Structure 1
Amino acid sequence: MGNPTDRLTEVPPPAPIKVGNGGSAGGYEFSPDEVRGVISKWKELLTDLQTDLSNANTIAEVKPPGQEFASGDFVNRAAKVSGETLQLQHQRMVDYVKNYIEALQKAAGIVEENEDEQHKNVGGYQAV
């Protein structure tokens, strides 16, 4: 049995997100009202993933139960490498979810700015 291999070299960027008129087309689209619920769900997922990452950190730091060769060999060769791969993959999931939440918030923020601009320009004049 070989060591686990992690072939992913970086966290992929979030898909394009459009909220109302803000953000980028070509990916997910949300109304300004529903995006808050979506952000809330992603934050719940982030909390769960952070707990999983904490558990993966514990696994990656496993110590052999005794000083004999078999325990040390197992920990150093199989358990440690598997734990570190698990840890790395969970960290990448946490990073991806954080990036996605930021992208959702940015798209939602752009919508709010556009609405503010529309209110300022109502009636043919621009407020100062």
Structure 2
Amino acid sequence: MSEVPPPAPIQVGSGGTPGGYRFEPGQVDAVINQWKDLRRELTNDIKNAQAIAWVKPPGQEFASGDFVNTGAKLSGNTLLEQHQKMAQYVDNYIRALEEASGKIKAGEQQATDAVKSQGKGF
């Protein structure tokens, strides 16, 4: 299987990497959930592609075996590989979104903690 390209840069608020997609902190969780929904759909697609890729001939005669071994399995394996690549890309994209979002959340928590600590000890 050839390599899956990395996702485009992702910026959430001021966190992450600029130059690609940019999301506001309040919207990134909804975007992550959409990508997770897509990933669940791809899991089902992969199962269906496996059924095609792993097909067995219905009989022991030449016509069935030839069709399965030269056509169906080849197409099924290509379909399966494409779905697996898409799933890997989606996994990478979800991870990148969560990473960019996590940086924002960590920064917000640090700011909140700094505000809370202001004035203590006076």
TM-score using structure 2 length = 0.90
Q: Please say if 1:73 is aligned against 2:71.
A: no
Aligned equivalent of 2:41, options 22, 29, 48 = 48
* Letter of the 1:75 counterpart: V
Q: Which residue of 2 aligns with 1:35?
A: 28
Trace 1:1-128 onto structure 2 (pairs within 5 A).
9-122=2-115
* Structure 2 unaligned spans of 5+: none
Distance 1:91 1:123, change over 3 A: closer
Superposed CA RMSD? 1.8
Distance 1:40 1:124, change over 3 A: closer
Q: Which residue of 2 aligns with 1:3?
A: none
Distance in 2 of aligned mates of 1:54 and 1:81? 16
* Structure 1 unaligned spans of 5+: 1-7
Distance in 2 of aligned mates of 1:42 and 1:103? 11
TM-score using structure 1 length = 0.86
Distance in 1 of aligned mates of 2:117 and 2:21? 33
Distance 1:123 1:53, change over 3 A: closer
| Percent of pairs with identical residues | 55
* Letter of the 1:48 counterpart: E
Runs of 4+, deviation exceeding 6 Å = none
- Number of residue pairs matched? 119
Shift of 1:123: 9.0
